[in-house]
Amino acid sequence: MLFGKCIRQALKQLYPQKNKMLRILPIVIFSILFSTAVLRGQSKKARKLYNQGIEALKNRSLDNAIVYFKKAVEKSPEFIDAHYQLGILHKAYDRDMQGVKLHFGTILALDSNFKNPSIVRILGEIYLHEGNYVEAKKLFRKYLTHKNEPKVFREKTERYIVSCDYAIENKSKPVLINPKPLNGNINKHSKQYFPAVTADEKTLIFTVRERIGVQEFEDIYVSKKINGEWGFAESISDRINSPYINEGTCSISADGKTLVYTICTQSGNANNCDLFISYKEGNDWSKPKNMGGAINSLFWDSQPTLSPDGKTIYFSSRRPGGYGEEDIWMAKADENFVWNRAINVGDLINTAGREVAPFIHPSMSTLYFSSDFHPGFGSFDLFVCYLDSMANWTMPKNLGYPINTFLEESSIFITSNGKKAYFSAEAKNQSNQDRYLLYEFDLPKEAAIQEKSTYAKGSIFDQATNQPIDATVELINLKSGKIESIVKSDKVNGEYLVVLNENSHYALFVIKEGYMYKSHTFNFENETDFDPVNLDVYLEPIKKGALITLNNIFFETGKFNLEKKSYSELDRLVNFLKQNQNLKVEISGHTDNVGQKQQNLILSSKRAESVVDYLAENGIAAERIKGKGYGDSLPIAPNDVEINRKLNRRIQCKIL
């Protein structure tokens, strides 16, 4: 099987994928690869060694064939056919690209019009992937002078020339970065890649590939940040990782509670990777579940990235219906976490090549991914695109050199505040073997996110018992009136986290059946820099005298007409009262002490009545609600500074 696979790989480089020769392999082995009809530049001894090499190929002894062909060129350095066989074997069998370059390069030096121009293209690809763009471009141009070459390879070569021109021009304009490898607690394996970090930058997860016997297996590892340093990385969970099965290319929600990752079995089928999901409660992960037919296909599905609330996913797939080999797809879940069918993100991002490793920033307005087709520096490069005012992605932009090089840059993760990037990059060890290490660097403006994010985090408790409870945390964008995320607090420890974006005004509601809901507001509309919010929430059981401060009710100064952005809070109160039909409440209005007391009393009464009218108009019986104004008589903070006066200007709802 190995012999046939190697031959097919060689032929795919020399002939179109759909060429009939691939379907009549036994004939072409002798008519093309093993041809001895014309043996040029050889001595008698060299010819004998060459023929022994051909016999070794026939007997599927590829290592011995390489030995014989090498001895043949040692005897006759100008033996073109032996150089050709060595080039093919190094490319298809042992992946020795330096050997390919040596032998194909020798052929062109001996015979610039060698009958098979594909070796020119293959040499060009090697030089491209070594970063020698000038030499690669020369070879690609030479290849295109052969008019009868297959269209698929001519188009590929024309694209390579575009990348060479791009690389030559842009390598001279480097972005300023200083990548630093993560410490030895992380980069302790030969290969680690696909990093992901929680919004608070306290937890790092990534994929590790290790060799067990003759096979390599992937597992997911996790590290916690301790005193500013990443701690010792270890397997994330025995429920996630399992022996002799590949688990990897993972993504974690902003709060660290939802994990989506890839499981690939070793069945021999290339299309056997699916996306699985697991949820964290306390310190334990749930048994993973296949994400189902809305997300997964019969083909390779992998490399997911999650939105902050875990309800939107982008991933890479080889399924039909796309534009190339791998495309980026996305799907959304409803409020019950039922996933809608995945859709392709379109041909502005996806190409005839390979688009992989998407990363959606927590702001949901910036998307990064890796591609081997968009103009770049060779192999896979990292790109970024932004969401425009029409909710469409902009044209992808290369992140530039040296973030991208001629090596393979396959994944990137940007922190919520946009300050730091984590990525994996190819490296070499002292034995020139491939390694993949995790790095971090300060994100330059050329690769910047469109919107910065921060977060609010804390724990939710029962006010009466101080015990943690699992509540729903709902975040509404007051500009649009739309729910931006819904998360659940951890039922074991009460922890929650929600992402907050710059230039936004939010209402946050904490909701639990049997409790008064809590309301908070976050306004970043005029903030150029903002810090994380630490907010523990204590929910009060529903009882007589229990109180809600409606922190997202807004009036113009000195007026009582409700502003439109108050509707989210008012609708939340309507729902609360409809779910608790036996409750009667008082809506109270309060002011600060600025102005005359009588005017403040009148204003507070009219504001309370505005809320009462809204509730009545939306189905709450009038006998269940009454409004009352208290003016400045019941302050909750000293009226000494504006921040305190703002606290005193409030609307409250009290159970009667």
User: For 357-410, how does the pLDDT look when each residue is reduced to its tens digit (9 = 90+)?
Assistant: 999 999 999 999 999 999 999 889 999 999 998 999 999 999 999 999 998 888
CA-based torsion, 9, 10, 16, 19: positive or negative: negative
Q: What is the mean pLDDT of residues 532-545?
A: 96
Comparison of pLDDT for 475 and 93, the residue scoring more: 475
Task: Give the separation between CA 429 and CA 510, rounded to whole angstroms.
Answer: 52
Separation of alpha carbons 255 and 283, rounded Å: 13
Residue 301 and residue 319: Cα distance in Å, rounded?
A: 8
Which residues on neighbouring strands pair with residue 263, listed in sequence order?
A: 247, 274
pLDDT tops 70 at residue 96: yes
| Residue 182 neighbours by CB under 8 Å, 6+ apart | 230, 422, 437, 438, 439, 440
Q: Per-residue pLDDT tens for 189-231?
A: 989 999 999 999 999 999 999 877 777 889 999 999 999 999 9
What average pLDDT score do residues 475-483 get?
A: 92
Mean pLDDT, residues 173-182 = 93
How high is the pLDDT of residue 9? 45
| Angle, vertex CA 380, rays to CA 377 and CA 381, nearest 5 | 60
Task: Read off the pLDDT of residues 15-55 as tens digits, 9 standing for 90 and up.
Answer: 333 333 333 233 234 333 444 434 555 788 999 999 999 99
Instruction: Find out whether 127 and 135 touch, Cβ atoms under 8 Å.
Output: yes
Instruction: Examine the pLDDT at 284 and tell me if it is beyond 80.
Output: yes
> What residues pair up with 223 in beta bridges, in sequence order?
204
Cα dihedral: 603, 607, 613, 618 (round 10): 170
Superfamily for the 2-170 domain: Tetratricopeptide repeat domain (1.25.40.10)
Nearest to 242 by CA among 260, 206, 266: 266
pLDDT tier at 431 (50, 70, 90 boundaries)?
low
User: Which amino acid is it at 433?
Assistant: Q
Return d(Cα 102, Cα 383) in angstroms, integer: 33
- The answer to whether 10 touches 33, Cβ cutoff 8 Å, is yes
CATH code of 187-447, in short, is 2.120.10.30
The reply to whether 2-170 and 187-447 are identical in fold is no
Residue 83: pLDDT over 70: yes
Domain boundaries defined on the chain: 2-170, 187-447, 453-655
Would the pLDDT of 270 be above 70? no
On the question of pLDDT at 459 being above 60, the answer is yes
Angle at 247 between CA 245 and CA 250, to 5 degrees: 170
- Phi/psi at 434 (nearest 5 deg)? -65, 140
| pLDDT at residue number 217 | 86
Contact assessment for residue 224 and residue 185, using Cβ atoms and an 8 Å cutoff: no
Q: Is the pLDDT of residue 114 over 60?
A: yes
CATH match of 453-655 with 1.10.1040.10:
no
Give the full edge-to-edge strand order of the sheet including 312-317.
Answer: 301-306, 312-317, 327-332, 343-344
- Cβ distance 487 to 277 under 8 Å? no
Helix (H, G, I), strand (E, B) or coil at 325: coil
Q: What are phi and psi of 110, to 5 degrees?
A: -85, -35
- Work out the average pLDDT over 591-606: 95
Please tell me the distance from the alpha carbon of residue 442 to that of residue 424, in angstroms, as a whole number.
Answer: 15
Q: How confident is the model at residue 166 (pLDDT cuts 50, 70, 90)?
A: very high
What is the edge-to-edge ordering of all strands in the sheet holding 355-360? 355-360, 366-371, 381-386, 397-398
Q: What is the pLDDT of residue 245?
A: 83
Exposure on the CB side of residue 400, measured as CA atoms within 13 A = 13
At residue 103, does pLDDT exceed 50?
A: yes
For residue 609, the SS3 value is: helix
pLDDT classification of 271: cutoffs 50, 70, 90: low
The per-residue pLDDT of the chain, averaged, comes to 89
**How many other β-carbons are positioned within 10 Å of the β-carbon of residue 338?**
9
Q: Token digits for 478?
A: 């007051």
The answer to whether 210 and 190 are in contact (CB under 8 A) is yes
Confidence (pLDDT) at 527: 75
The percent of residues in the chain predicted with pLDDT above 90, rounded, is 78
Q: What is the gyration radius of the CA atoms in the chain, in angstroms?
A: 32
Q: Which of 65, 109, 72 is nearest to 90 (CA)?
A: 65
Name the helix (H) or strand (E) containing 485.
Answer: strand 482-488
CA distances from 113 to 226, 252, 476, 489, 563 (A): 63, 55, 68, 70, 78
SS3 labels along 637-652: CCCCCHHHHHHHCEEE
The partner residues of 192 in beta bridges, in order of sequence, read 208
Supply the DSSP symbol for 31.
Answer: I
For 321, what's the count of Cα atoms within 13 Å in the CB-facing half-sphere? 12
- Cα separation, 571 vs 564, whole angstroms: 12
Phi, psi of 137 (to 5 degrees): -60, -40
The pTM of the full predicted model, rounded to 2 decimals, is 0.86
Rounded mean pLDDT, 547-570: 95
Q: Tokens at residue 543, please?
A: 């009882």
pLDDT of residue 40: 54
